[in-house]
Structure 1
């Protein structure tokens, strides 16, 4: 455990970038060799749009990083947060507890709010418009959504009382798991089902990308699946019944053009996804 703490306490920016790029490259290769769905699409064009949004997410996180660093430093110096209220426990238990809470607030609650608040849904809609879900879809977030998610990450760090090394560990795991559960791959169904009792698997998350309710409003988790199971938002759907996208934006002109995607939150059409605006 000390090795992990030391590494993530001093993780170079280059290593964090390599985790992001390496994950995309690994799952890109895997889904190219054995895809779950053989999409009829221009893979590189699709990737280009999604990587643009990945870069805007990185830019938002970089611009706001000072707030996260200061928050983690303050809670550490002042022994503030849930972790500091726990009795002296094994470091592995403390770390797992911290990761669970960071995932609950920073991922599950942030994601849930984007489906329940109409203004936030306008921005999150860009993620759901993708009709060709693959590993590059993981970071297909409008810059406005990236800001909202970062705010939740800061709030989670404050409430949990997470030191910066734990936040870096969580973010690294979050990136890889998001790439994993969006990747156009299929685990053996029994393995996927077994893992989904604890972790968010490809089959589980792809249900969330089905184009119709109630499946769109389910399976909000990113790393841990227990929150969906605990709060009744877990759903299953057979692989061959899943249709990606969102029912009001199925036209390629809407979901495969960068300009259109950037404008979606600011449109006021008759129907703007599953939520009234």
Structure 2
């Protein structure tokens, strides 16, 4: 079973990714939440280009990635669920929940710790937010995230199917919650009881630092409510809010080369109140 999952893992992830990407791109054009300030041709090549670069990098550095580590850990009896008897469905469900909580905690850390924020802020420097923003992460952040995930897979002894399921879920929900998609208010309210919706996550991309440092969840909306980082709406409203970062407003920064070099650039250091308590 493990070999079968590993053999088809790239195809499964790619098929789901491209299917949801295409679906959401179409939905954004039919029912946009906001008018885009920058044209798609200015933003999409670099946002999708960095996604391709990250995919190639991961395949080069760790071809089997987290799924392969899960299969190896199972074969060697390493990790919690490889040492404790539990129904397969329960192990899968608990591991998916644990991974989602881990991503929430990692996201908070990338905002709070200054060197990590330098990597993560490339994601926030997009001047608009749409489905392609969900793929806009610096390669160094992707590699760090992979390392954290591999440690978690080993510690949990996570079943390979839970790892694949979570990675597919994370990619899908990241695209969904970044989408420039207008959902009816009632639908949004119902969905965000469980999932992070576009309106919920858009608050996180506000240029107001206290709003940037809120709504950290990617898939499940519970963690922000539990840990007190939930914010219902942006103070300026979804139509009036400014997306991005105050220090990076030049449209030229949307180019791929400048995106990759962005962690090396300085930004104005805000007050401790505005910075959200980042460790410098």
Per the alignment, residue 34 of structure 1 pairs with: 31
Task: Say if 1:220 and 1:233, in contact at 8 Å, map to a contact too.
Answer: yes
Per the alignment, residue 201 of structure 1 pairs with: 197
Task: Say if 2:6 and 2:68, in contact at 8 Å, map to a contact too.
Answer: no
Gaps of 5+ in 2: none
Normalising by structure 2, what TM-score?
0.87
Instruction: Give the match's secondary structure for 2:247.
Output: coil
Cα separation, partners in 2 of 1:86 and 1:208, compared to 1, 3 Å? farther
Cα separation, partners in 2 of 1:99 and 1:41, compared to 1, 3 Å? same
Per the alignment, residue 25 of structure 1 pairs with: 22
The reply on whether 1:224 has 2:220 as its aligned counterpart is yes
Task: Say if 2:66 and 2:163, in contact at 8 Å, map to a contact too.
Answer: no
Per the alignment, residue 154 of structure 2 pairs with: 158
Task: Say if 1:206 and 1:242, in contact at 8 Å, map to a contact too.
Answer: no
**In structure 2, what is the Cα distance between the partners aligned to 1:227 and 1:85?**
28
Per the alignment, residue 244 of structure 2 pairs with: 245
**In structure 2, what is the Cα distance between the partners aligned to 1:245 and 1:207?**
11
Deviation by residue 1:126-176 (Cα, 9 ceiling, x = unmatched) = 100012101011010111111111112212212222122221111111111
Instruction: Give the C-alpha shift of residue 115 in structure 1.
Output: 0.5
Instruction: Give the C-alpha shift of residue 85 in structure 1.
Output: 6.4
Task: Say if 2:58 and 2:65, in contact at 8 Å, map to a contact too.
Answer: no
Task: Say if 2:170 and 2:218, in contact at 8 Å, map to a contact too.
Answer: yes
Task: Say if 2:193 and 2:222, in contact at 8 Å, map to a contact too.
Answer: yes
Per the alignment, residue 263 of structure 1 pairs with: 261
Cα separation, partners in 2 of 1:53 and 1:241, compared to 1, 3 Å? same
Task: Say if 1:124 and 1:141, in contact at 8 Å, map to a contact too.
Answer: yes
Instruction: Give the C-alpha shift of residue 66 in structure 1.
Output: 4.2
Per the alignment, residue 128 of structure 2 pairs with: 132
Per the alignment, residue 94 of structure 2 pairs with: 97
**In structure 2, what is the Cα distance between the partners aligned to 1:88 and 1:66?**
25
Normalising by structure 1, what TM-score?
0.88
**In structure 1, what is the Cα distance between the partners aligned to 2:124 and 2:4?**
35
Which of 110, 115, 126 lines up with 1:114 in the alignment?
110
**In structure 2, what is the Cα distance between the partners aligned to 1:194 and 1:92?**
26
Task: Say if 1:102 and 1:160, in contact at 8 Å, map to a contact too.
Answer: no
Alignment RMSD: 2.5
Task: Say if 2:92 and 2:159, in contact at 8 Å, map to a contact too.
Answer: no
**In structure 1, what is the Cα distance between the partners aligned to 2:63 and 2:107?**
20
Task: Say if 1:8 and 1:169, in contact at 8 Å, map to a contact too.
Answer: no
Task: Say if 2:113 and 2:279, in contact at 8 Å, map to a contact too.
Answer: no
